[in-house]
Chains A and B, each alone.
Chain A
Amino acid sequence: DADVTQTPRNRITKTGKRIMLECSQTKGHDRMYWYRQDPGLGLRLIYYSFDVKDINKGEISDGYSVSRQAQAKFSLSLESAIPNQTALYFCATSDPGLAGGGTGELFFGEGSRLTVL
């Protein structure tokens, strides 16, 4: 089984619908992230969480919300989806990072492709 699992892997929805993307991990990491990938733009950080009670906005959080239900679970919601939220979404986990004495490596899920019509 994958260390970081995202569901669904693919989703097509309509403008205005509420969508939830779920992420679960077995790495035992406290830190979890949601990124969005668009062609030519690389990965941009939407939200990140350092532990269950710590949630922070990334660079493109507008139109998104998150929930950290447990150490292992981090969900991303689009309350009212719009077409420019069509993208590939990645969940990732990490230890505290190089500056925090960790390895700095991010572990990614396989991605959730979302299409908003």
Chain B
Amino acid sequence: AQSVTQPDIHITVSEGASLELRCNYSYGATPYLFWYVQSPGQGLQLLLKYFSGDTLVQGIKGFEAEFKRSQSSFNLRKPSVHWSDAAEYFCAVEGDSSYKLIFGSGTRLLVRP
């Protein structure tokens, strides 16, 4: 069965610093991978997704993620964090069932001024 692990519950970075949020998945074939962001009091919004091709994908708000099959990872990165990036981030995988996403437990990002 597919699963997603986000090992970091909380991460704190200073504004302007770089960011990497970790995501590891378990799935037998090539997965479809997603990152969603949840701002306080809001629903989730898609940041980016990977389904084939170039393993480095670009998303909205300056985020990118790299799919590494050998490490079963899909880490989210941003070179310079802004205070408005403070939110909770969810990694998700869609398997061959094509009917649902499996979400990780989320990583809450705090941004220091």
Give the CA-CA distance A40 to B8 in the complex, in Å. 10
The segment from B14-22, B66-74, B76-84, B96-104 found at the interface with A is B96-104
The segment from A13-21, A65-73, A76-84, A96-104 found at the interface with B is A96-104
* Number of interface residues, chain A, beta carbon within 8 A: 27
Whether a CB of chain A sits under 8 angstroms from the CB of B58 is no
Given contacts A97-B99, A98-B32, A109-B43, contact A104 B94 (CB under 8 A): yes
Give per-residue flags for A24-50: 1 if the beta carbon is below 8 A from chain B beta carbons, else 0: 000000010100000011111100101
Cβ contact within 8 Å between A42 and B104: yes
Cβ contact within 8 Å between B101 and A106: yes
Name the residue of chain B whose CB is nearest to the CB of A33. B100
Residue in contact with B100 in the complex, picked from A41, A58, A100, A105, CB distance below 8 Å:
A58
How many cross-chain pairs have Cβ atoms below 8 Å apart between A and B?
66
B contact residues, range: 20 to 34
Cβ contact within 8 Å between B44 and A97: no
Cβ contact within 8 Å between B105 and A41: yes
Q: Which residues of B contact A (CB under 8 A)?
A: 4, 6, 9, 32, 34, 36, 41-46, 49, 51, 90, 94, 96-101, 103-106
Give 28 CB contacts A-B under 8 Å. Answer: A4-B43, A42-B4, A42-B104, A42-B106, A43-B44, A43-B90, A43-B103, A44-B103, A48-B99, A48-B100, A50-B99, A90-B44, A92-B44, A97-B94, A98-B32, A98-B49, A98-B51, A98-B98, A99-B32, A99-B96, A104-B49, A104-B94, A105-B46, A105-B49, A108-B43, A108-B45, A110-B41, A111-B41
Q: Which residues of A contact B (CB under 8 A)?
A: 4, 31, 33, 40-45, 48, 50, 56, 58, 90, 92, 96-100, 104-106, 108-111
Sorted nearest first, the 7 A-B pairs with minimum C-beta distance are A108-B43, A99-B98, A42-B103, A42-B105, A43-B103, A98-B32, A108-B44
